[in-house]
């Protein structure tokens, strides 16, 4: 009653107060919420998400002292950028001269492709690590928390670390390789929307691979790298999609990563116009296709995860340890 | 009417092994064969059987890790196939003989993480973790990384993880496997105290340590080759062979024990060699004590000499031998 009186004095309506209460997941305390089970479940999933993200961060960072981890985190993306410079030099030498537009295309595409490599590969690797290495998967699996929340939480840390790596790479490109990134001309709103949808899409792919990882042990690493390699080849990362044969271009056009990378390049104004396949398409069109293909792939990914989960439970693979 | 914590009806589980070209054919293995079982609420129930008997398969089905091939299994009134969420809120499991845990995290961090998967509020989680660590004498290691712990300490941490959620039903799959005497005793005492605290708590314990089952369990089911052979209180199980005599012999070590295998009136016979002391230990379950003379006479025939003779009361191991035809560690006869 005291809360109600206070809310009235603050000018908040009873309806909006109820709505606010419903939106806050909290542990049940007495007769507060009519649907106790739902509240408990929401509360559990929120905690699972938070603490699995924390676990992911610990796993990524806790293997070395903070200074060494910082050095590694900076050195790794810079080393990857330097490899790219070598690759570009060879392409330029073979192609008869430097093409700075192609370099910018490659640089920005590769920088943002780190999300695909790290998040997609990382999400699927969680199943393998928890089951075979840490032998904790069965205990997580039989807990009442949603396994999905756990996986998403774990992948959040990978996403944060990759974001750091992408920023380092871009900074290295701007300051040492003369990549002409102007942060004042970027459409930040569009960029953020593109990033959210793109990362959502990559995580969905990761969950699909995680579903398949339930059923495999030895082949899991190869499968993850194979899928990431497929995207690397067909989505316009090291060369424009227009270089691909016609069947390759058709395949590239159904992959959301192709549209995501194109939109990233457009919002950052780097390497734009290098790819004739999508140069005629408007940004709105690319965005619409990205959203649609992400939606379709997410539904398929969810189905694959569910099927993988059920088959693993049927076959007794949830706590499989193969020592491969 | 008694409420069942676990109710299993005609439960079957088969596994198909993969064929290896030129070496083995595809094979169907029956891990559980028409199992029927009920466990009352508040009971400490033991599943006793050798490796590969089906104990762990049954536990995996009951804790929703594995689906049955056919039959019905209900845990705390919920179907294992359909009501997994309802079951998972009320159960937990601890397996022995494994090295589970995130080695980079401390013991406390590991346990804390699992408390959050169950949505336990921070204050309550801290209270339970502290209490259980104290009871299991793990307090001094709470800030140590899991990777630095010995097998016994890891198992204690695993126990804290399992009991910290205060489950209505806990599955303990060989919880003292590979532990030293002191750690095993501590864990056994802890289990006994835990179930005494609340009458509604239920424990399903699998073990192949007969003494453990005898000491802890209200009722025991003996399982072999996926079948439940007997299920009763330890005392009632022992009464099954109470009319029989159990004779233990220690003789000078012999390699060939065929002289003892075909003596008429011997219901079951097991043997083990103690290489260090050069002794062979023989154990007979007899239909009639009159056969003792025949057994004693067979010793010199085998080229050995009697060192000691002892007639004992039946133990759960004797029941097991009588039902299964072999001991847990001995050769089949």
% of chain A exceeding 90 in pLDDT:
42
CATH number for the domain whose boundaries are B243-313: 3.30.70.260
pLDDT at A19 exceeding the cut of 70? no
Q: Are B324 and B224 in contact (CB under 8 A)?
A: yes
**Which residue intervals of chain B bear CATH 3.40.50.300?**
4-238
Tokens (6 digits) for B329: 């560690």
Question: Looking at CA atoms only, how far is residue A43 from chain B in angstroms?
Answer: 6
Question: Looking at CA atoms only, how far is residue A307 from chain B in angstroms?
Answer: 14
Pairwise CA distance, residues A253 & A235, whole Å? 8
Q: Are A49 and A140 in contact (CB under 8 A)?
A: no
pTM of the model: 0.81
Residues of A in contact with B63 (CB under 8 A): 142
Tokens (6 digits) for A23: 């939106």
Residues of A in contact with B85 (CB under 8 A): 144
Query: Helix or strand or coil: residue B20?
Result: strand
Closest Cβ–Cβ partner in A27, A48, A144 for B88: A144
Give me the mean pLDDT over the B38-42 stretch: 95
pLDDT at B19 exceeding the cut of 80? no
Is the complex ipTM higher than 0.85?
no
Give me the mean pLDDT over the A305-315 stretch: 93
> What pLDDT sits at residue B313?
75
Pairwise CA distance, residues B61 & B74, whole Å? 10
- Domain B4-238 in this protein, CATH class: alpha beta
Pairwise CA distance, residues B255 & B278, whole Å? 11
Q: Where are the domains of chain A?
A: 57-315
More confident residue, B244 or A99: A99
> What pLDDT sits at residue B114?
94
CB atoms within 10 A of CB A65: 8
Closest Cβ–Cβ partner in A143, A313, A314 for B114: A143
Which segment, A6-15, A81-90, B217-226, B321-330, is predicted with the most confidence on average? B217-226
Strands (DSSP E) contained in B22-100 are: 27-40, 44-48, 70-75, 78-79, 91-95
pLDDT at B164 exceeding the cut of 50? yes
Q: What contacts B30, CB < 8 A, 6 or more positions away?
A: B12, B13, B14, B225, B226
Q: What contacts A213, CB < 8 A, 6 or more positions away?
A: A124, A125, A127, A128, A220, A223, A224, A308
Q: Over the stretch A109-163, which tens digit does the pLDDT of each residue have?
A: 999 999 998 888 888 889 988 998 899 999 999 999 988 889 989 989 889 989 9
Q: Cβ A136–B102 below 8 Å, yes or no?
A: yes
Q: Kind of pairing, strands B279-286 and B245-252?
A: antiparallel
Question: Looking at CA atoms only, how far is residue A257 from chain B in angstroms?
Answer: 33
Q: Over the stretch A176-235, which tens digit does the pLDDT of each residue have?
A: 988 999 888 899 999 999 999 999 999 999 999 999 989 987 776 778 788 888 999 999
% of chain B exceeding 90 in pLDDT:
56
Residues of A in contact with B95 (CB under 8 A): 138
The CA-to-CA distance between both ends of chain B, in Å, stands at 43
> What pLDDT sits at residue A15?
54
Q: What contacts B246, CB < 8 A, 6 or more positions away?
A: B283, B284, B285, B286, B311, B312, B313, B314, B315, B318
Q: How many CA atoms lie within 13 A of B12 on its CB side?
A: 10
Q: Are A318 and A214 in contact (CB under 8 A)?
A: yes
Q: Cβ B116–A316 below 8 Å, yes or no?
A: no
> What pLDDT sits at residue A323?
66
More confident residue, B60 or B322: B60
Lowest mean pLDDT across A107-121, B70-84, B317-331: B317-331
More confident residue, A176 or A36: A176
The mean predicted confidence, pLDDT, of chain B is: 89
Binned at pLDDT 50, 70 and 90, residue B203 comes out as very high
Q: Cβ A55–B102 below 8 Å, yes or no?
A: yes
> What pLDDT sits at residue A99?
81
> What pLDDT sits at residue A18?
54
């Amino acid at each position: 009653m005291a809360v109600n009186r206070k809310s009235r004095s603050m000018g908040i309506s009873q309806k909006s107060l109820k709505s606010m209460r419903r939106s806050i997941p909290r542990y049940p305390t007495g007769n507060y919420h009519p649907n106790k089970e739902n509240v408990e479940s929401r509360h559990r999933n929120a905690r699972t998400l938070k603490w699995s993200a924390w676990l992911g961060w610990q796993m990524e960072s806790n293997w070395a002292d903070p200074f060494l981890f910082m050095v590694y985190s900076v050195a790794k993306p810079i080393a990857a950028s330097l490899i790219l410079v070598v690759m570009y030099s060879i392409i330029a030498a073979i192609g008869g001269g430097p093409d700075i537009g192609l370099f910018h295309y490659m640089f920005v595409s590769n920088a943002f492709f780190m999300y695909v490599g790290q998040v997609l590969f990382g999400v699927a690797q969680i199943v393998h690590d928890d089951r075979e290495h840490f032998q904790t998967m069965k205990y997580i699996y039989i807990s009442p928390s949603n396994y999905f929340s756990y996986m998403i939480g774990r992948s959040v840390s990978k996403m944060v670390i990759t974001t750091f790596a992408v920023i380092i790479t871009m900074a290295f490109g701007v300051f040492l390789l003369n990549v002409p990134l102007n942060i004042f001309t970027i459409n930040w709103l569009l960029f953020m929307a593109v990033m959210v949808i793109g990362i959502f899409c990559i995580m969905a792919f990761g969950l699909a691979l995680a579903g398949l990882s339930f059923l495999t042990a030895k082949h899991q690493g190869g499968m993850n790298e194979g899928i990431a390699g497929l995207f690397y080849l067909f989505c316009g990362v090291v060369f424009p999609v227009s270089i691909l044969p016609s069947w390759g271009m058709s395949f590239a056009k159904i992959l959301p990563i192709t549209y995501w990378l194109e939109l990233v390049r457009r919002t950052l104004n780097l390497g734009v116009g290098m790819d004739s396949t999508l140069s005629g398409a408007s940004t709105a069109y690319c965005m619409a296709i990205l959203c649609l293909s992400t939606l379709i792939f997410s539904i398929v990914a969810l189905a694959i995860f569910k099927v993988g989960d059920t088959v693993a439970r049927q076959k007794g693979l949830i706590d499989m340890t193969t020592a491969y | 009417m008694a409420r069942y914590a676990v109710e299993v009806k005609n439960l079957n589980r088969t596994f198909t092994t993969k064929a290896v070209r030129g070496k083995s054919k595809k094979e169907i293995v029956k891990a559980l064969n028409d199992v029927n079982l009920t466990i009352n609420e508040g009971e400490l129930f033991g599943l006793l059987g050798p490796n590969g008997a089906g104990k762990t398969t049954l536990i995996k089905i009951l804790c929703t890790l594995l689906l049955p091939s056919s039959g019905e299994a209900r845990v705390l009134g919920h179907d294992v196939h359909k009501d997994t969420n309802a079951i998972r809120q009320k159960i937990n499991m601890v397996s022995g003989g494994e090295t589970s845990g995130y080695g980079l995290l401390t013991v406390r961090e590991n346990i804390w993480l699992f408390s959050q998967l169950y949505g336990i509020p921070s204050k309550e989680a801290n209270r339970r973790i502290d209490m259980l660590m104290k009871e299991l004498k793990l307090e001094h290691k709470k800030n140590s990384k899991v990777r630095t712990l010995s097998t016994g300490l890891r198992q204690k941490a695993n126990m804290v993880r399992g009991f910290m959620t205060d489950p209505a039903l806990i599955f303990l799959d060989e919880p003292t496997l590979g532990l030293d005497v002191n750690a095993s005793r501590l864990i056994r005492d802890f289990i006994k105290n835990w179930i005494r605290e609340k009458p509604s708590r239920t424990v399903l314990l699998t073990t192949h340590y007969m003494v453990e089952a005898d000491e802890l369990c209200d009722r025991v089911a003996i399982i072999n080759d996926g079948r439940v052979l007997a299920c009763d209180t330890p005392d009632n199980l022992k009464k099954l062979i109470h009319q029989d005599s159990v004779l233990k012999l220690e003789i000078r070590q012999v390699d060939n024990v065929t002289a003892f295998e075909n003596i008429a009136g011997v219901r079951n016979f097991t043997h083990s060699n103690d290489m260090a002391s050069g002794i062979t230990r023989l154990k007979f379950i007899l239909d009639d004590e009159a056969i003792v003379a025949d057994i004693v006479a067979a010793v010199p025939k085998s080229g050995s000499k009697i060192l000691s003779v002892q007639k004992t009361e039946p133990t759960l191991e004797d029941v097991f031998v009588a039902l299964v035809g072999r001991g847990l560690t001995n050769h089949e006869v």
